[in-house]
Amino acid sequence: MGPSDPVSRSLLPTTAAVDGDGRLSIGGVDLVELAEEHGTPLYVYDEEHLRIRCREAVEAWGDGVAYATKAFLCVAMARLAFEEGMCLDVSTGGELHVALTAGVPAHRLVLHGNNKSDAELASALAVGIGRIVVDSFDEIDRIERLVTEGSGPGVRGSAPVRPKVLARITPGVEVHTHEFVRTGQDDSKFGFGLASGAADQAVERLQSLHDAGIVEFVGIHAHLGSQVFALAPFVQAIEVLADFFATLELPELVVGGGLGVAYVNGEEAPPMAQWASRVRAACLHAGIPESVRVSAEPGRSIVASAGITLYRVGTVKDVPGYRTYVSVDGGMSDNPRPVLYGSGYEAFLPRSAGAERPMPIRLVGKHCETGDVVVAEGFVPDDLRVGDIVATPVTGAYGHSMASNYNKVPRPAVIFVSGGVARTVVRRETFDDLVRLDL
């Protein structure tokens, strides 16, 4: 498949359909009409696709699999993941707050974070969080103090129950992904290193807190990194952890998230079920008893290809001898991934979704810097003109969640589409929102 071929169907959400005129709809809603009605930029999610992916995760991993909310979180998404049977991984007090606001029961939540504050831990304990994934010795001290004292800042008089905890271990396995999103290597701010002996010390401390009735030490956690295409590193991590894990006789093992997704034509990522079965087979092979709950925390692979961003073209500028710049009304404020990681995306016109895309362009945003690129090497139909709605698929993960107000650009609305109905789940920011925190 060449770069100028139409955008691959596999990059579009499940319910994507192209009508006789070539117009794309998702969830039975025409995307150009949706953009006209709600304005641009606009994050559009296929609700059916989100639900299917959650169900696939539960089917592949079983009860306990957690959706990593950092990939995309709002009240509607938290509710959806919970309704579809997933636990939710939250890594800050803010994510915890959104999940609780959505009505997700605290026992379905897993608290992460390499630097959890007293206040974050205290409120997690007070609500009865399902699991805490412990990341540092300071955190072990904090949990011990908060549980023993039965209170913490912001949680007056409450008596936290004995929390279930897992120890986050860095197994020393490197994955071939962007260095900013690699976490399983020895040189990492996350977790307790296996090679350095920190992991042994951490489990020793947690076991003694367990014996003292302060925590319930239930498992080991290892997250290798994100946007990982090859399953071999997950197998390798199990092999590396197996002996260490066996001696502890714990009931839970979590391999983190990280399953990659295809962003551009020609890319292919392993399906959820294959990820789970390879990990499970590696566990059995390594002698990990079948009774151990082996689980994961997918984020990107749940939401990425459910989402698509719509922009409106504002200017088209030919720079002779170089390229054609197509400027849209968003950019690094709604999708910082190209500038942060050099990530590639496709661009296409929802009014002619099946069209050939012979025209090479650079799709750029409206922000005041050259790095503000949406698609560095894009191809579009050659009848693209100012005023067109242009779409970038596979923007459902780490777009909305990492969005900013750079240049005081209001953040886009988030729309869920399903059964011919568009539901605004996060409203667009207004200019007034941009000054609401100023005193």
- Residues labelled as active-site residues: 368
Residue range at the interface with ligand LLP (CB under 6 A); choices 67-75, 94-102, 157-165, 355-363: 67-75
Dist CA 345 CA 328 (whole Å):
15
Segment interacting with ligand LLP, rule: CB under 6 A, options 10-18, 222-230, 233-241, 429-437: 222-230
Q: Which two tokens stand for residue 59?
A: 């089917």
Output the CA torsion 135→83→13→39 (10° steps).
-90
- Residue 251: other Cβ atoms inside 10 A: 13
Q: Which of 108, 223, 280, 367 binds ligand LLP (CB under 6 A)?
A: 223
Minimum distance of ligand LLP from residue 13's CB (angstroms) = 18
- How far, in Å, CA of 218 to CA of 251, rounded? 6
CA-CA distance, 149 to 426, in Å (whole number)? 39
152 forms part of the interface with ligand LLP (CB under 6 A): no
Instruction: State which of residues 25, 226, 236, 352 lies at the interface with ligand LLP (CB under 6 A).
Output: 226
298 binds ligand LLP (CB under 6 A): yes
Count residues binding ligand LLP (CB under 6 A). Answer: 22
Residue 160: is the preceding peptide bond cis (ω within 30°)?
no
Pick between residue 137 and residue 180 the one whose CB is nearest to ligand LLP. 180
Does the protein bind ligand LLP through residue 269 (CB under 6 A)? no
Q: Is 421 helix (H, G, I), strand (E, B) or coil?
A: strand
Site string for ligand LLP, 7-46 (x = CB under 6 A): ----------------------------------------
What is the C-alpha to C-alpha distance for residues 119 and 98, in angstroms, rounded to an integer? 16
Nearer to ligand LLP, 41 or 381 (CB): 41
The reply on whether position 256 binds ligand LLP by CB under 6 A is: yes
- Rounded to whole angstroms, the Cα distance separating 273 from 57 reads 8
Report in angstroms how near the CB of residue 39 gets to ligand LLP at its nearest: 25
Report the Cα 11 to chain-centroid distance in Å.
Answer: 17
Select the residue interacting with ligand LLP from 30, 47, 135, 297 (CB under 6 A).
297
Residue 370 DSSP one-character state: T
Q: For residue 133, give the nearest of 99, 169, 107 by alpha carbon.
A: 169
Provide the minimum distance between the beta carbon of 167 and ligand LLP in the complex, in angstroms, as a whole number: 13
**Binding to ligand LLP by residue 305, rule CB under 6 A?**
no
Residue carrying structure tokens 């983190």 = 256
Q: How deeply is 379 buried, as exposed, middle or buried, from its count of CB atoms within 10 A (0-12, 13-18, 19+)?
A: buried
> Is residue 262 close enough to count as binding ligand LLP by CB under 6 A?
no
Q: Residues in the site for ligand LLP, rule: CB under 6 A?
A: 68, 70-71, 89, 112, 181, 223, 226-227, 256-259, 297-301, 337, 341, 398, 402
